[in-house]
Amino acid sequence: MAIAPIHWILALIRHHGLFKEFFAREIRGRFAGSMGGSFWLLATPLSQILIYSFVFSVILKIRLSHQEVGTESFVLFLLAGLFPWMAFSEGLVRCTGILIENANIITKVVLPTELLPTVGLSGTFFVNGVGMSLFLTYLVWAGFISWTWLWLPLLILLFFLFALGLAAFLAALCVFLRDTQQILPIIVFVWFYLTPIIYPISMIPSRFQAYLYFNPAFPFIELFRQILLRQTIDPVPLGIATIWTVLSLFLGTFFFERLKHSFADVL
């Protein structure tokens, strides 16, 4: 188990050229046939930001406690957690069926199958990263920039590796249990509401707040908000997020490596 992530990383290094080709195909495929093409990379997240701002700031006029979340703006609070969550959840859904989607390639060509979940997740993080970049630009304009932003690359890497472990597990599982593709969106839907993304932690009874760390997504969302809005970083969620990342990456890649030699036969 200990060397499964190493095998995965080495496969990506050896086939980095192939990874680039698949990644480019992944991005092009998202906008294939649309008149706007890559224009939607900017238009979609920008429209989300504008709509959320209008609904929650102008119409509903929801305000939060600055002391608790680092801002009174519900929109900033929401987007600081929503963009990372969208990259994560959409990535899992995308990667679950990616081996089945590429069955013709896997069964006819000797292909490092590790590339496929990595490409699918990378594409999703890239697309949602455009929206996150627009959001960060607004935060800079609003004066939220701080030295804590230096933690962002590490946090994004941890979140990506955490998601990669889950993506590897789900992609391998779906080859043998096709119902995974139908079950996962339901799980993601419930998981979204169990994670404090659209509501602050203070809305949860204090006696239950400690249990939030049993939700693997929570420390990551909390860290994004701490870094971006409260301009601080708590070592507790950082440590727990690191533990979840290690567990997910090792277990997910181990599960994938154990099953990958049977993919071609089953597909």
pLDDT one-digit tens code per residue, 158-199: 999 999 999 999 999 999 999 999 999 999 999 999 999 999
Q: Choose between 8 and 171: higher pLDDT.
A: 171
Q: Please check the confidence at residue 244 and state whether its pLDDT lies above 90.
A: yes
Kindly state the average pLDDT of the residues 49-63: 81
| Residue 204: DSSP 8-state | S
| Residue 31: DSSP 8-state | S
DSSP SS3 for 144: coil
Q: What is the pLDDT of residue 65?
A: 74
Kindly state the average pLDDT of the residues 81-110: 92
Residue % of the chain over a pLDDT of 70: 96
241 — pLDDT class (breaks 50, 70, 90): very high
User: What is the helix, strand, coil percentage profile of the chain, to 5?
Assistant: 80, 0, 20
Token readout for 4 is 């499964």
Q: What is the pLDDT of residue 159?
A: 98
What's the first-to-final CA gap in the chain, in angstroms? 25
Q: Which of 7-11, 68-72, 146-150, 259-263 has the lowest mean pLDDT?
A: 68-72
Q: Please check the confidence at residue 2 and state whether its pLDDT lies above 60.
A: no
Q: How far apart are CA 219 and CA 211, in angstroms?
A: 11
Q: Please check the confidence at residue 34 and state whether its pLDDT lies above 80.
A: no
The amino acid present at 17, given as its one-letter code, is G
30 — pLDDT class (breaks 50, 70, 90): confident
Q: How far apart are CA 158 and CA 244, in angstroms?
A: 9
Q: How far apart are CA 242 and CA 219, in angstroms?
A: 9
Residue 67: HSE in the Cβ half-sphere, 13 Å Cα cutoff: 1
251 — pLDDT class (breaks 50, 70, 90): very high
Q: What is the pLDDT of residue 55?
A: 83
Q: Is residue 242 a contact partner of residue 231, using CB atoms and an 8 Å limit?
A: no
Bridge-partner residues for 63, per DSSP?
A: 73
Q: Is the pTM of this model over 0.85?
A: yes
Q: Is residue 92 a contact partner of residue 184, using CB atoms and an 8 Å limit?
A: yes
Token readout for 164 is 């990669």
231 — pLDDT class (breaks 50, 70, 90): very high
